[in-house]
Structure 1
C-alpha cells in the first residue's frame, strides 16, 4: 500500500529519535557507573573531521524538522544548540519528536508537486519531494543517528542493535 510523504516521515523520524534518546540514557548511566565525565562522551568523535556526539544528535534532529518544513514549503523552527549535556540532547529530541508527530498532514498535501532546492556539497540541487525525502533527507538523518550510535558503541557504552532500532509501535 503506498504511503504518503507525511506517513513516511511520521514513522521514520520519531522511532529512530526515541531510540537515540534511549541510547543516550543508557550511555549516561554507564558513564556515571564508570566515572567517565559526560563531556568526554559528548565531545567524542570517530575521526578528527567528523562531528562529535553532541553535534551528531543536534544534526539528526535538525534533519527531521527541516525535512517536514521543506516538504511543506515552510521554515523549520530553530532550536538553539545549547551547551551539550545528556539532558539537553534528550530534551531536544523530545521537542523534535513532538514537532514531527504534531505536523499537520494537510501541510504536505501538495508536496508531491513541490520542487525541493537545497545546498549540499557546495552546490545547489533540485529534486522532487519524494526523491528529496527518500534519497537525501532520510539517508542523511540515518547517517547522523548511526554516527551517534557508533560513537557511543566505540567508547564502550553497553548498547546493541536493538537499541539502535528504537521502539517499534
Structure 2
C-alpha cells in the first residue's frame, strides 16, 4: 500500500515551533520549581550553563525567540528584525515566549507557500553561503530551533530537575501526534 504524504512548509514549521515554545515555557516553570524546592536564589538558574562557551539557560529562551522571528522573516521574504533584548527574569522570558507564539499563530500558510523553492543567504556565526529552501528548513531552521530546547533541557537535567523525554516531547494530543505511554 502506498501513501502520498506531503507537508507544507507551514505544517513543518509553524505548529512545530509553537509546540516547542510551549515546551520551553514549561521548562521555565520547572526551573522556578527547582529553585523553590532546593532553596536556590530566585532567578539563579537563568544564569546557569553547560559549558563556559555556551549560552545560559535564560539566553536559550531569548535567542530561540529571536531566531524564530529571523527564520520566519526569511521564509516570508521580509527583513530580518533586529534581535530583541529580554531581561533575564522569568516574567520577561515568559512574556517573550508568549509574544513569539502569538506571532507564529498569526502567520498564514500563504505567507510562506513555496518558501522551500527559494534560496537563502546565510551569514556567520554559524555558516556562510547560499542554501536552497528545503535544505535551509530541514538542516538549519528546525535543528537550530530544537538545539536551544535540548540545551535548556540538558541544563535542567544537569541541575537535578526531574524531567525526561516526556517533558521534552511536550503535551501530545491526537492533533499533535497522539497519546503515548
Q: TM-score, normalised by structure 1?
A: 0.91
Higher helix proportion (structure 1 or 2):
1
- Aligned pairs for 1:18-97 (under 5 A) are 18-78=22-82, 80-97=84-101
What is the rounded CA distance, in whole Å, between the counterparts of 1:72 and 1:37 in structure 2? 42
Q: Shift of residue 99 of structure 1?
A: 0.9
Q: Shift of residue 133 of structure 1?
A: 0.8
- Secondary structure at the aligned position of 1:126 is classed as strand
Runs (4 or more) in structure 1 with deviation over 6 Å come to: none
Q: Shift of residue 122 of structure 1?
A: 6.6
What is the rounded CA distance, in whole Å, between the counterparts of 1:19 and 1:76 in structure 2? 25
What is the rounded CA distance, in whole Å, between the counterparts of 2:109 and 2:164 in structure 1? 34
**1:4 counterpart (1, 4, 8):** 8
- Which consecutive unaligned segments of at least 5 residues does structure 2 have? 177-181
If asked which structure has higher relative contact order (CA below 8 Å, sep 6+), I would say 1
RMSD between aligned alpha carbons?
1.7
Q: Shift of residue 96 of structure 1?
A: 0.9
What is the rounded CA distance, in whole Å, between the counterparts of 1:94 and 1:123 in structure 2? 29
What is the rounded CA distance, in whole Å, between the counterparts of 1:123 and 1:25 in structure 2? 33
- Which consecutive unaligned segments of at least 5 residues does structure 1 have? none
